[in-house]
Amino acid sequence: MDIIGCLEIGSDALRVVLGYELGGEPVVVYAHEAAHPGLVKEDQINLNELSAALAGFHNITDPARKITVSLTNVNLVLPSAGFKVYVNEKSTAIVNPEMGVEKIDVTNVISLVTQQLLPPGLSLVDVIPDQFILADGSVYGNPPLGKKTTSLEVKAKVHCLPTEIKDVYNKAVSLAGYRVNKQAVSAYCAAKLIASYKDMPRTYILLDIGSRVTTLSFIGEGSPYSSLYFYQGGANLSEKIASAFGLDFAAAEELKVKYGYDPRLISYNPDLATGQKEDGTVTHVKQADLNQVIEEYFQGYAATLSNCLATLMKDYGGAEYAHLPLLLVGGGSKLAGLELFLSKILPGRELLPVIPRSIGARDPKYANLLGLLLGCKYSGSLADNQRGVAPLSRTQPKKDKGKRRPSPEDDAL
């Protein structure tokens, strides 16, 4: 089984997952997050610093699990900032009708889609086939390899990002000495993972709360259509807690994650932490104090989130979109009590935290990478003939054991 290497660049951390797809589920061999505060600050990236940090994943060793990984090819998660989706249809004659549809035929029809002109300032990220149609009108969701026909038509979604965003992330990875095979936007990756869970809705709003960026995406029938983002996330809240109580960032982060927001009235009210402000004042942090700081933070966050959601959904009319469920991913979604705030901001919406179910990566911060593992399966898209294979060895080897929903985004290119 080939091991796929998937990489994500966050605002304050780098994340990597090694694994593969099996039976429609991601199987994790290795998952790791390396903290690097300040890697990405409101679209400002220090390429030298970032590429140096990325280079640290070339050789991964985990003595506890007795594995050594040499990583040279990667599949890359790109941010959904400025994400645009277009729909296109193309058809081609089959190279050898007697042999039926072959991979070369799928490659040919996908290449026709990629040749279409994009609006200025946008670059192609990936082509996601929705349907393959044969000459007799039969329709397939996956490449109909071996099926005899004289022509092959594809209906596909074209995923695009602003050129400057795509280029800077690819350049950083290239400078670090990696070859990028497949790349996909974060909203698509998260949607792939969520689609593998049969108990999750197919149409929803995806709320991805990162370290310093929050992204909202409209997902219709399992496919992303558009995304908006703003610069606020979990690290910003930690900084506010640190400033309020005279704590260092690590202590504030621990306080946030461990206790979060808890409005319950209890008789036992111990100090949660002790800090010291710049003027020498010693602070004794209790739950009520922490609650107040979190409430103040979310007053501003709530207004921005509400405006962002209204803008995202303004082109999607109808009652069916008015109260779509909100699905939560990203490291910032782990804040205890977050759902209490969101229910006030967005009343009437079902709130569903997405906790990955893959052993070794059961943390919402890995949702995008797990989805990319699934997205690397052959489907006829751009990079299907290129795989990010991470050769893996164990320091102590063991013997081998034996109908699409219409959308206002459906613009022709």
The residues near 118 (Cβ < 8 Å, ≥ 6 apart) are 86, 124, 158, 160, 413
H helices of 74-201, where? 103-114, 163-175, 186-195
- Segment 144-165 shows an average pLDDT of 95
pLDDT score recorded for residue 318: 66
Residue 129 has pLDDT above 90, yes or no: yes
Residue 348 has pLDDT above 90, yes or no: no
Q: Taking the CB of residue 167, how many other CB atoms lie within 10 A of it?
A: 12
pLDDT score recorded for residue 222: 95
pLDDT score recorded for residue 213: 94
pLDDT score recorded for residue 397: 43
> pLDDT averaged over the chain?
88
User: What whole-number distance in Å separates Cα of residue 390 and Cα of residue 374?
Assistant: 16
- Segment 320-346 shows an average pLDDT of 88
Residue 335 has pLDDT above 50, yes or no: yes
3-state secondary structure of 309: helix
- Segment 280-304 shows an average pLDDT of 92
- Segment 333-355 shows an average pLDDT of 89
- In terms of average pLDDT, the best of 4-18, 332-346, 383-397 is 4-18
CB contact at 8 A, 225 and 205: no
Residue 413 has pLDDT above 60, yes or no: no
Q: What is the pLDDT of residues 218-234, one digit of tens each?
A: 999 999 999 999 999 99
pLDDT score recorded for residue 384: 55
- Segment 36-50 shows an average pLDDT of 84
pLDDT score recorded for residue 40: 87
pLDDT score recorded for residue 169: 94
pTM: 0.87
pLDDT score recorded for residue 157: 95
CB contact at 8 A, 226 and 312: yes
Percent of the chain with pLDDT over 90: 72
Residue 387 has pLDDT above 50, yes or no: no
pLDDT: which is higher, 271 or 411? 271
Residue 400 has pLDDT above 80, yes or no: no
